[in-house]
């Protein structure tokens, strides 16, 4: 079994000495509600964040009888890496081979102990809390929900379908009240009509200004 901590940058840190045991704590979250005539009842909520914890040590000198590799970090440098991960705002990936543990976690706490009988070695307790993506749900009466439900009040542009014998002047007179407004219709529909304002075709749909 090997234990790795993989940072967001992809940098991997393997713990040099495996712990004797790994504790995984799971707990269901409940909300206590007081109901008239029934008293307090517990209503099940989502599962609480899991905690994974274990104890081990960083050796000053590698001993391959219990170390997973020979080129171990200085114990103080190793503790500094744990502290850096704990202070980071991003989760790290905890991988424990030969188990199902391969999860994003926060290093929530770690404590170190120096023993007089083991000079240079640093003993530690580490606790990890599984990371959960935060999803914000909009309440039905919230401002965002109200905005989404608000009807679109923008006016719908009027569209005129060209008929045989139509000219822009005649359309302007009939739809806008003045034949001199033909230029406004042309400018609004120039991409459809083309460079010659006189070449309008029956069936074309012109947007009125």
pLDDT tens digits, residue range 180-201? 889 989 988 888 888 888 888 8
Same fold, 3-32+40-130 and 159-207: no
**Cβ-based neighbour number of residue 168 at 10 Å:** 21
Beta-carbon contacts of 173 under 8 Å, excluding residues fewer than 6 positions away, are 179
Q: Which two tokens stand for residue 15?
A: 């713990």
Residue 37: Cβ-neighbour burial (10 angstroms; 0-12, 13-18, 19+): exposed
Higher pLDDT, 91 or 33: 91
Indicate whether this model's pTM tops 0.75. no
Report residue 152's pLDDT band, with 50, 70 and 90 as the boundaries: low
pLDDT: which is higher, 172 or 148: 172
CA dist 57 and 16 (Å) reads 8
Class of 3-32+40-130 per CATH? Answer: mainly beta
How confident is residue 157, by pLDDT bands cut at 50, 70 and 90? Answer: confident
For residue 104, count CB atoms less than 10 angstroms from its CB and return exposed for 0-12, middle for 13-18, buried for 19 or more.
Answer: middle
pLDDT tens per residue across span 51-70? 888 999 999 998 899 999 99
Q: Is the per-residue pLDDT at 16 higher than 90?
A: yes
Whole-angstrom Cα distance, residue 3 to residue 186?
Answer: 73
Pairing of strands 28-35, 12-14: unpaired
**DSSP structure string for 66-114:** TBS-SSPPPHHHHHHHHHHHHH-SS-EEEEETTSS-EEEEEEEEEEEEE
Between 153 and 19, the more confident residue is 19
Does 159-207 carry CATH code 3.10.350?
A: yes
Q: How high is the pLDDT of residue 175? A: 87
Domain assignments of the chain as residue spans, ordered by start:
3-32+40-130, 159-207
Percent of the chain with pLDDT over 70: 78
Q: How much is the average pLDDT of 99-118?
A: 83
Q: What integer is the mean pLDDT of 5-13?
A: 88
∠ CA 173-177-183 to the nearest 5 degrees? 60
Alpha-carbon distances of 17 from 38, 46, 156, rounded to whole Å: 54, 35, 71
């Amino acid at each position: 079994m090997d234990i790795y901590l993989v940072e967001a940058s992809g940098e991997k840190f393997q713990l040099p000495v495996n712990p004797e045991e790994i504790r995984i704590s799971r707990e269901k979250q409940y909300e206590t509600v007081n109901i008239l005539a029934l008293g307090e009842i517990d209503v099940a909520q989502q599962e609480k964040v899991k905690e994974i914890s274990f104890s081990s040590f960083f050796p000053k000198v590698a001993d391959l009888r219990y170390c997973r590799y020979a080129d171990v970090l200085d114990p103080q440098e190793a503790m500094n890496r744990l502290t850096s991960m704990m202070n980071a705002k991003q989760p790290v990936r905890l991988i424990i081979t030969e188990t199902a543990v391969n999860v994003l976690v926060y290093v929530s706490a770690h404590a170190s102990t120096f023993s007089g009988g083991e000079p240079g070695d640093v003993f530690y307790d580490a606790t990890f809390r599984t990371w959960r993506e935060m999803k914000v749900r909009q309440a039905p009466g919230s401002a965002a929900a109200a905005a989404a439900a608000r009807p679109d009040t923008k006016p719908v542009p009027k569209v005129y379908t060209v008929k045989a014998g139509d000219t822009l002047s005649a359309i302007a007179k009939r739809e806008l009240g003045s034949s001199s407004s033909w230029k406004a219709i042309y400018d609004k529909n120039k991409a459809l009509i083309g460079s010659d304002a006189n070449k309008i075709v029956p069936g074309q749909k012109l947007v009125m200004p």
